[in-house]
Amino acid sequence: MSNQSIIILASRDELSYLLITHLAKHFSIAKVVFEAPHTRKMLRYRLKKLGAWTIAGQLAFLVLDRLFIRRQSRPLIEQLLKGHDASPPDGRIPTLEVDSVNGAEVTALLKEHKPQVVVVTGTGIIAKKILALAPTFINIHVGITPRYRGVHGGFWAVYEGRLDLAGTTIHRVDPGVDTGAIIAQVPITVEPNDTYRTLPVKQYLAALDAMTQAVQSALDGQLTTYERTDLDSQQWYSPTPLEYWRFLKQLPIKK
């Protein structure tokens, strides 16, 4: 286990817990910072950028998700997570709750610990002033960049009929939205029973070892990156019910 300083900036969700517990098996984690959700702020931003009609569709999809998709997905998710620890930190890893990863508390924390690596999972966009406080920020992104930046990258790959581009990207963090240089990309297998919620679980599980290797390489000063010029760059947002219906039509047919 490495004694070099690592800090994790995370959202409070099952997939972040999965990554945290996995990394804690290999490294000494100085602290995990959990950022509060900013639902209203995100809604205002998307309303301005996408318009009221699109936002109405996205809200309708959230209702569909809450009523049906979550319950439908849970048995497969539990099967996928069998043998993995996706429980919240139990006190052995120090944690800090903050309103924003760009606030004064995180600034003070990074200045105090001077981490060699900051791992990011599920937070909002990180400001330049924060990125300047550590040499390496590494993000786990559920999409193959640059084609599937933003949210739900695996979902949108299936939606477009690009099952070959369903996967996870480990990348360095820059001020853009998932625009940082690529460290590794890991594909997943899309199956007929997959849903909007099962794909991210597969994407995190597939990338656990790649993230571990990326962190170790950064600690060793041997982290390498590359760019993909074969893919167009696009940022994606939450789907609507109609888009989810098309997603279901693009899933592989049961044999």
Residue 254's pLDDT is what? 84
- Whether 106 is covered by a domain: the verdict is yes
Instruction: Please give the pLDDT value at position 73.
Output: 98
Residue 116 lies in a domain: yes
| Residues 21, 208: Cα–Cα separation, whole Å | 10
For position 21, which CATH number holds?
3.40.50.12230
- If one counts the domains in the chain, the total is 1
Report how many helices (DSSP H) and strands (DSSP E) the chain contains, helices first: 9, 9
Asked if the structure places residue 6 within a domain, the reply is yes
Is 255 inside a domain boundary? Answer: no
Mind listing the pLDDT tens digit for each residue in 124-147?
A: 999 999 999 999 999 999 999 999
Q: What is the mean pLDDT of the chain?
A: 95
Q: Is residue 174 part of a domain?
A: yes
- Residue 85 placed within a domain: yes
Full residue range of the structural domain in which residue 70 is found: 2-250
Q: What are phi and psi of 188, to 5 degrees?
A: -125, 165
Q: Is the pTM of this model over 0.75?
A: yes
pLDDT confidence of residue 153: 98
Following DSSP, what letter does each residue of 160-199 receive, concatenated?
TT-GGG-EEEEEE--SSSS-SPEEEEEE----TT--TTHH
- Asked if residue 99 is part of any domain, the answer here is yes
Please tell me what DSSP assigns to residue 88: P
Per-residue pLDDT of the chain (255 residues; tens, 9 = 90+): 444 689 999 999 999 999 999 999 999 999 999 999 977 777 787 888 889 999 999 999 999 999 999 999 999 999 999 999 999 998 889 999 999 999 999 999 999 999 999 999 999 999 999 999 999 999 999 999 999 999 999 999 999 999 999 999 999 999 999 999 999 999 999 999 999 999 999 999 999 999 999 999 999 999 999 999 999 999 999 999 999 999 999 999 987
